[in-house]
Amino acid sequence: MPKSVWTARRRRAFIITLAETGNVSEAARATKVSRGAAYALRNSDPEFSTLWDESLEAAVDSLELEARRRAVQGIDQPHFHQGKVTGMVRKYSDALLMFLLRAHRPGKYRERSEMGKSGSEGESAFEGARDELRERLDRLDQPDDDPETSEEEDHI
């Protein structure tokens, strides 16, 4: 699609749809252009590229707000009894809450397995465990001076 087909109105519609959906394919469909044409314009027009990036950031911000709402305020779900709705139950998402905490406070809420993987503290703990294991193995290799223990071990 020639660049001239990208009117100001079409560019604006694409950027707005991208900000609302966070989906390039949907923004292209809504503005009746191909994904390839959209990416070509992005690669050739720095201003459009900046707006594109800002639109995707806005879309992710919306997702984050929705995740926070579901985690903190919860969502109402119908409660059924004998096939009929008898009330509503508010459900909260602990999983979303943990994702948000890990994203915003990774030092405090990251996975335990991640804690030992990086940094000098993890390396120091690994070296200490390795040294302790080496000492224990060395003790096993040393001859036993107690004759009774040696004879018992021969029978086992």
pLDDT at 132: 77
pLDDT at 131: 75
74 sits in the region (left: phi over 0; alpha: psi -120 to 50; else beta) called left
Query: Measured between alpha carbons, how far is residue 95 from residues 61, 68, 86, 87, 111 in Å?
Result: 18, 11, 27, 25, 13
User: Model's pTM, two decimal places?
Assistant: 0.60
Given this model, what pLDDT does residue 1 score?
47
Residue 13 and residue 28: Cα distance in Å, rounded?
9
Q: What is the pLDDT of residue 123?
A: 65
pLDDT for 82: 94
Can you tell me the distance from the alpha carbon of 120 to that of 124, in angstroms, rounded to the nearest whole number?
Answer: 6
Contact call for residues 110 and 102 (beta carbons, < 8 A)? yes
pLDDT, one tens digit for every residue, the chain (156 residues): 445 689 999 999 999 999 999 999 999 999 999 999 999 999 999 999 999 999 999 999 999 999 999 989 999 999 999 999 999 999 988 888 888 888 888 888 877 655 555 555 556 666 777 777 777 777 777 766 655 555 555 555
pLDDT value at residue 108? 85
CA–CA separation, 65 and 121 (whole Å): 35
